[in-house]
Amino acid sequence: MAPDNKETLSNLLQESRRFPPPPELAADANVKADAYDEAAADRLGFWERAADRLSWAQRWETTLDWSNPPFAKWFVGGKLNVAYNCVDRHVEAGRGDKVAYHWEGEPGDTREITYADLQREVSKAANALIELGVEKGDRVAIYMPMIPELPIAMLACARIGAVHSVVFGGFSADALRSRIHDGQAKLVITADGGYRRGNPNALKPTVDEAVADSPTVEKVLVVRRTGQDVALTDKDVWWHDLVDRQSDTHEARPHDAEDPLYILYTSGTTAKPKGILHTTGGYLTQVAYTHHAVFDLKPETDVYWCSADIGWVTGHSYIVYGPLANGATSVMYEGTPDTPHRGRWWEIIQKYKVSIFYTAPTAIRTFMKWGDDIPAKYDLSSLRILGSVGEPINPEAYVWYREHIGGDRCPVVDTWWQTETGGIMISPLPGVSEGKPGAAMRPLPGITADVVDDQGHSVPNGGGGFLVVRDPWPAMLRTIWGDDQRFIDTYWSRFEGMYFPGDGAKRDEDGDLWLLGRVDDVMLVSGHNISTTEVESALVSHPKVAEAAVVGATDPVTGQGIVAFTILRGGAEESEDIAKELRDHVARTLGPIAKPRQILVVPELPKTRSGKIMRRLLRDVAENRQLGDVTTLTDSSVMNLIAEKLPSAKSDD
């Protein structure tokens, strides 16, 4: 948002569809409406009770130390072991035979890992790390495909107090190298490769390139997954040589609640990536509690699947730490949704009788584009709750998800959070909240989020502005690794005493929250701040549109003009007058102020590897600039396809 502009975000989109929680779910929900009052009356007491869901070797003395803001300490003096909480305690409680992961490889190979298996494998891996000289506090970079050794490696680090830094397996050697350097990793854990889109996808050569000039790296531990040729260097050790011969018992010593657990670099679209630091007790408390509350997990009967990659925070918190702390049975899938066919995910849900499914709007919109007939071929009746994360979910995508995947019976929980927040912050509770398509609804119990104007004052119901968090929360980032000043500047300087995540939001007439995307993306059209999200949602509500990305491009008359890039739904034809049809549709839905200046029909949109639309690149195209950094794009050829379209797209006003 332009700094001199005092206006708040315009509130354009009206959405009146409502979905009350199913009565049986509401009656039996893990968390009911009273949790909000309980937390409001005694916030710290509420988080203490959430922490009591874990096993502590030593109880904390102080719940929150906020004497040196913005550096929070939670559960000060408490000691616990994260791996013990995620694995051993379930085995000790007699649940060793329960499946922790139904793992499905892309080629169709499968592994079933029980909690007892996990305990043995994590212990062996922990012993192996110790043999390699890894000590408490050392950093371990992990660059792996979605195979069971990935969570095993993370838990082995957590067990001995080493700090893992998982780097998404699709990143380049440069990206891996800079993360290794920033964290000064001593060990890298990787694999020969993984399967993607039907083929083995080598990882080891990328690691070799990154490690070649990484003097801190002493050893590279390599899992054999694909059997691809690997040129071994003198730092390399095969996982099967080292880990397999270790003892399968290892005593998990307790660590301090504030000992570092992991570093994860944000998917940030600009500048140097930020190493977000998470610690032990508060993090595990919040991810376990939110997984229990938001997904209503019943560990005895539910089968839970989060389709994210563990290389993103969603995978850390909701494939590994949250579900395991709660003793869940999860599905973990290695590959892409369209291999070997576009029904693969639904086939997996049918096969394992998945009851809770958590995915991203980008995936939902892709399935809309592929057509309703694909999920219709599978039995999805086991599902009872659907989740969304990563971007604002457009109301139309929400309704499609609810109807075509959820059989019109499953509540959809739209969960807002960030790498920095560690766990879910704003979300409906499936047994409490009335679902509103597109709204993340309320801060969870124990979280104090607000929407403020430029001056930091709360906006009234019906207003829009900046999302902030008022009080520290247990899973909050503790700092940016090695850069406390950047931590302060980035998150705590915009508004006095408040955390600013960088997102815009509005509060509707009922007081419920709607996330409106990054404030950097907000457009200023004829003096009005308009969110890209609302215009995109209006476009997606047209029956011919599957996906849309909207940017503001400099305009001599209006300041910025709205330029929209759209992907059509399966079956919809690109016609001469589609641009006019869509522009009129937006004007009717949101008002004439939001009418796009230009509309382009494109085959694909530029996305980060975690599926977020990169509007910055589209702005470059719309303003005929040289493209900025494209290294975090999934597929850089997409930008050429889009640029070719531009000259033909004229405004018809």
Region from 214-222, 306-314, 456-464, 553-561 binding ligand 6R9, contact rule CB under 6 A: 306-314
C-alpha 248/C-alpha 245 separation (Å) is: 9
**Does 89 appear as a known binding residue?**
no
C-alpha 291/C-alpha 436 separation (Å) is: 21
Task: Give 147-216 as a DSSP string.
Answer: STHHHHHHHHHHHHT-EEEE--TTS-HHHHHHHHHHHT-SEEEEESEEEETTEEEE-HHHHHHHHHT-TT
Region from 495-503, 540-548, 574-582, 617-625 binding ligand 6R9, contact rule CB under 6 A: 495-503
C-alpha 259/C-alpha 282 separation (Å) is: 10
Q: Check residue 515 for interaction with ligand 6R9 (CB under 6 A).
A: yes
Q: How far is the CB of 298 from ligand 6R9 (least distance, A)?
A: 24
Segment holding 309, helix H or strand E: none
Cis peptide, bond prior to residue 340, ω within 30 of zero: yes
The sheet carrying 219-223 orders its strands as 236-238, 219-223, 187-191, 139-143, 163-166, 260-265, 275-279, 479-480
C-alpha 600/C-alpha 534 separation (Å) is: 18
Region from 132-140, 284-292, 415-423, 585-593 binding ligand 6R9, contact rule CB under 6 A: 415-423
C-alpha 515/C-alpha 417 separation (Å) is: 10
Q: Check residue 1 for interaction with ligand 6R9 (CB under 6 A).
A: no
Q: How far is the CB of 15 from ligand 6R9 (least distance, A)?
A: 14
C-alpha 146/C-alpha 310 separation (Å) is: 7
Q: Check residue 267 for interaction with ligand 6R9 (CB under 6 A).
A: yes
- Of 211 and 451, the one with the shorter C-beta distance to ligand 6R9 is 451
C-alpha 530/C-alpha 552 separation (Å) is: 9
3-state secondary structure of 240: helix
Region from 375-383, 411-419, 445-453, 564-572 binding ligand 6R9, contact rule CB under 6 A: 411-419
Q: Check residue 508 for interaction with ligand 6R9 (CB under 6 A).
A: no
C-alpha 365/C-alpha 329 separation (Å) is: 27
- Of 276 and 325, the one with the shorter C-beta distance to ligand 6R9 is 276
Q: Check residue 419 for interaction with ligand 6R9 (CB under 6 A).
A: yes
Q: Check residue 415 for interaction with ligand 6R9 (CB under 6 A).
A: yes
Q: How far is the CB of 24 from ligand 6R9 (least distance, A)?
A: 26
Q: Check residue 235 for interaction with ligand 6R9 (CB under 6 A).
A: no
- Of 156 and 441, the one with the shorter C-beta distance to ligand 6R9 is 441
**Does 198 appear as a known binding residue?**
yes
Pull the structure tokens for residue 260. Answer: 């570092």
Q: How far is the CB of 504 from ligand 6R9 (least distance, A)?
A: 9
**Does 16 appear as a known binding residue?**
no
Q: Check residue 611 for interaction with ligand 6R9 (CB under 6 A).
A: no
Q: Check residue 416 for interaction with ligand 6R9 (CB under 6 A).
A: yes
- Of 123 and 532, the one with the shorter C-beta distance to ligand 6R9 is 532
Q: Is the sign of the CA dihedral 498, 502, 507, 513 positive or negative? A: negative
Q: Check residue 501 for interaction with ligand 6R9 (CB under 6 A).
A: yes
**Does 540 appear as a known binding residue?**
yes
Which residues in 309-338 contact ligand 6R9 (CB under 6 A)?
312-314
Task: Give the Cβ contact number of residue 306 at 10 Å.
Answer: 27
Region from 27-35, 349-357, 389-397, 404-412 binding ligand 6R9, contact rule CB under 6 A: 389-397
- Number of residues this chain uses to bind ligand 6R9 (CB under 6 A): 22
**Does 391 appear as a known binding residue?**
yes
Q: Check residue 414 for interaction with ligand 6R9 (CB under 6 A).
A: yes
**Does 415 appear as a known binding residue?**
yes
3-state secondary structure of 563: strand
Q: How far is the CB of 182 from ligand 6R9 (least distance, A)?
A: 17
Q: How far is the CB of 516 from ligand 6R9 (least distance, A)?
A: 8
What residues contact residue 169 under an 8 Å CB cut-off, 6+ apart?
Answer: 143, 144, 145, 146, 194, 203, 309, 311
Beta-bridge mates of residue 166: 142
Q: What is the DSSP code (8-state) at residue 495? A: S
Alpha-carbon torsion angle 569, 575, 581, 585, nearest 10: 10
The binding site consists of: 196-199, 314, 390-392, 414-419, 503, 518, 526, 540, 542, 545
From the annotation, which residues make up the binding site for ATP?
A: 390-392, 414-419, 503, 518
Interface residues toward ligand 6R9, by CB under 6 A: 266-267, 312-314, 389-392, 414-419, 440, 501-503, 515, 518, 610
